[in-house]
Amino acid sequence: MATNTLSLEPLQSKTDSLPGNVSFSPMPNVSPPPSLIGVEGIPKDLFIKPVDESLVCTICKKVLRWAMQEGCGCRACYGCLQRTIKSQIETVTCSSCGESFPREEIIKDNHARKKLEKLKVYCANRESGCQKQLLLKNLDNHVQQECEYEMIQCIHRSKGCTAGILRHKFAQHLEEECLFRRVKCKFCSTELMANEQEVTWFKAKSFPVIMIYMWWQLSQLILLIIMVASYVALESVSLGVAHVLNIITPGHWAIYLIP
């Protein structure tokens, strides 16, 4: 069953991305997503022009991803810093300069954020084919909502589809590939899922074979009945002829032979 491509556009933008492209730049008054905990900074080659070293994480040596500032003044990515101070409860020691300070002195670095947001970058999916160039502050929205080369999850994942699909192949997946798409049975036009159609198709193909076998068995039975009936009929005729010959004795023939 064909799906209208235009009707898929809202679904494409709302479909979740697969793990890979985690948030690049924070938004004001928004808490860092849990996915940042295990992620390092932004690769330097994502930026069109070289980035100032003051905007580089002191831990992973990549460009700051959700920039944080420690009490000592050093800057680090949110995820890098959280992993580094995980076991430090009240007092934190900077892994870069060695200075100690209270944990509550770690804050969002809005100054660094504003500077980074104005830098121009390539799309994070450039290696997959996207040629878009944009400001870092717009990269999250582009990747999560627009980029045709972002790997997204199927809308039927709750039913069992685990496929990862490039956004520009989303319609093709739903129309031709997804085992959980709705299709019409080739034999009865009932609407069902594609993976159910395989079972129906097998049963449909088996039905003619079973019917042919049954007709063959029936024909054999009919032939047997005809043969038996023919045999009985022939036996009856033979017995009748013999009986007639037995009652016509030689004496009877003599009557006709004597002049």
pLDDT digits (tens, 9 = 90+) for 241-252: 565 555 555 555
Judge residue 37's burial from the number of C-beta atoms within 10 Å of its C-beta, 0-12 exposed, 13-18 middle, 19 or more buried.
Answer: middle
Q: Report which listed range, 89-98, 171-180, 243-252, is most confident.
A: 89-98
Q: Which residues contact 197 (CB under 8 A, 6 or more apart)?
A: 183, 185, 186
Q: In whole angstroms, how far apart are CA 169 and each of 2, 16, 176?
A: 15, 15, 10
| Mean pLDDT of the region 61-70 | 95
State yes or no: pLDDT of 81 exceeds 60. Answer: yes
State yes or no: pLDDT of 177 exceeds 70. Answer: no
| Mean pLDDT of the region 68-72 | 95
Residue 96, pLDDT score: 93
Domain ranges of the chain: 22-149, 201-257
The candidate with the shortest Cα–Cα distance to 64, out of 19, 30, 29, 108, is 108
Q: In what order do the strands lie in the sheet with 107-108?
A: 75-77, 67-69, 107-108
Question: Is 148 or 209 the better-scoring residue by pLDDT?
Answer: 148
pTM (predicted TM-score): 0.60
Residue 65, pLDDT score: 94
pLDDT digits (tens, 9 = 90+) for 3-45: 333 333 433 444 444 445 678 877 777 788 888 888 999 999 9
What is the Cα–Cα distance from 209 to 218, expressed in whole angstroms?
14
* CATH number of the 22-149 domain: 3.30.40.10
State yes or no: pLDDT of 1 exceeds 60. Answer: no
Residue 219, pLDDT score: 84
Q: How confident is the model at residue 82 (pLDDT cuts 50, 70, 90)?
A: very high
Q: Report which listed range, 8-22, 64-78, 159-173, 215-229, is most confident.
A: 64-78
